[in-house]
Structure 1
Amino acid sequence: MIDIAVHDGIAVLTLNHGPVNALDLELLTAVPETLTAVADARAVVLTGQGRSFSAGVDLKRIVDGGPRYVEKFLPALSVAMLAVFEHPAPVVAAVNGHALAGGCVLAAACDVRLMSGGTIGLTELAAGVPFPTVPLEIMRHAVGPALDSMVLEAGRLTPERAREIGLVHEVVEPDQLLTAALARAEGLCAAPADVYAMSKFQLRRPVRERIDTAQPSDDPRATKIWSSERTNQTLRTYLESLRR
């Protein structure tokens, strides 16, 4: 589900879960577990197997699983994203292809993002679902004022456009992506590990404070909408449109 390789103390984690690395309960559960397993690594590079980094939430599982699945899935989504976002060591995203919706957030949770192709963006509103607090605040941290248009227009960005708004730090050729990501991770390791971890914590503290303030009211509302019959039907229609 997540393959692990180690290059000179840097853990390369490769999402390997179906053709597009869709985010389901099992993969999201594996993310914090895998980060714990590589806790001693000097840095982490996160990438995907195949043509996608991650095409986002497995909407078919949402439709088929109904409210009981949603009630487990959304908390797992938040835990996984925070595990990446708050991991104390450097984390570099090597975005090897499409990174959409939850896949975009997963990339945004990393400290540095390199991209070699595909599109990246937040397509939640196009699918008819709102953002839980954690993904929204991670995106706010990553792109700042560009967040409104990314959310409300629900579009896809090229790597070059994503770089212009700060979502992607560097666009590289596909055959150079992993090498470049390892080099960026090595560069981030130049600072002492405890200094890097504290600096990262300080930079992310306002995000955690906003999350802690908003979650008690916002997340139950999001869960209610994700679990509704209207959303279920909207997602069925959306999935059908993707198959045409």
Structure 2
Amino acid sequence: MIETADHDGIAVLTLNHGPVNALDLELLTAVPETLAAVADARAVVLTGSGRSFSAGVDLKRIFEGGPRYVEEFLPALSVAALAVFEHPKPVVAAVNGHALAGGCVLAAACDLRLMSGGTIGLTELAAGVPFPTVPLEIMRHAVGPALDALVLGAGRLAPDQARSIGLVHEVAEPGLLLAAALRHAEGLRAAPPDVYALAKHQLHRPARERIDAARASDDPLVQEIWSSERTFATLRGYLASLRRP
């Protein structure tokens, strides 16, 4: 589900879960578990297998699981995103293809983001669902004022477009992506681990304060909308459209 490899003290974590690394409860649960397992690594590179980093939420699992699945899924999404965002060591995203919705959030949770192809963006509003607090605030930290257009437009950006708003820091050739990500991770890990961790904590403090302030009031409403009949009717129509010849 998540493959782990060591590159001279840098842990390379590769999402390997189906053809597009769609986010379901099992993959989200594996993210914090895998990060805990590589806690001794000096840095982490997060990437995807195949042609996608992660194409976002597994909507079929949401539809089939119903409100009870949503009740487990949404907290797991927040826990996974926070585990990446608050990992004390350097974390570099090697975005090898599409990174959409929750996949975009996982990439944005990394300290540095490189991309080689595909599209990246927040498509939640196009699917008729709102953002839990944690993903929204991680995105606000990553792109600042550009967040409004990214959320409300629900569009997809090419790598160069994503770089222009700070969502991606560097565009790399596909065959050179991992090597570039490892090089950046090597550079970031040059700082003493405790110094890097403190600097990261200080930089992330405003996002964490916003999360703590809004989570209790906003997330129950988010879950209610995700679990609503309207949302499931939308998913029913969308999934049916995928089966049409």
TM-score normalised per structure 2: 0.98
Aligned pairs for 1:109-128 (under 5 A) are 109-128=109-128
AA of the residue aligned to 2:192? P
Q: Supply the distance in 2 between the matched residues of 1:123 and 1:238 (Cα, whole angstroms).
A: 14
The one-letter code of the counterpart of 1:3 is E
In structure 1, the residue matched to 2:170 is 170
Q: Does 1:81 align with 2:81?
A: yes
What is the Cα deviation at residue 243 of structure 1?
Answer: 4.9
Match of 1:194 in 2: 194
CA 1:149–1:242: 2 relative to 1, 3 Å: farther
Other-structure match for 2:203: 203
For 1:42 and 1:101, the matched residues in 2 are separated by: 29
Residue 158 of structure 2 corresponds to 158
In the other structure, the counterpart of 1:222 is: 222
* 1:98 equivalent in structure 2: 98
Aligned ranges 1:12-23 → 2 under 5 Å? 12-23=12-23
Specify the code of the residue in structure 1 equivalent to 2:159. Answer: P
Amino acid at match of 1:123: T
Partner Cα distance (1:162, 1:19) in 2: 24
Tell me which amino acid in the other structure corresponds to 1:214: A
1:47 aligns with 2:43: no
User: Which residue type is aligned with residue 146 of structure 1?
Assistant: A
- The runs of 4+ residues in structure 1 deviating greater than 6 Å are none
% same residue: 83
Aligned to 1:11: 11
Matched residue type, 1:108: A
* Equivalent-residue separation in structure 1 for 2:231 and 2:183 (angstroms): 43
Q: How does 1:140-155 map to 2 (within 5 A)?
A: 140-155=140-155
The one-letter code of the counterpart of 2:34 is T
Matches within 5 A, 1:124-139: 124-139=124-139
Q: CA RMSD in A?
A: 0.8
Q: In the TM superposition, what is the alpha-carbon distance from 1:235 to its structure 2 partner? A: 1.5
2:242 and 2:226 map into 1 onto residues whose CA distance is: 19
Tell me which amino acid in the other structure corresponds to 2:92.
Answer: V
Q: Could you tell me which amino acid in structure 1 is paired with residue 85 of structure 2?
A: F
How many aligned residue pairs are there?
244
Distance across 1 between alignment mates of 2:99 and 2:26: 19
Q: Structure 2: 5+ residue runs without aligned partners? A: none
SS at 2:44 equivalent = strand
Residues 1:240 and 2:240 are matched in the alignment: yes
- SS of match in other structure, 2:47: strand
Distance in structure 2 (CA, Å) of the matches to 1:95 and 1:241: 28
TM-score (norm 1): 0.99
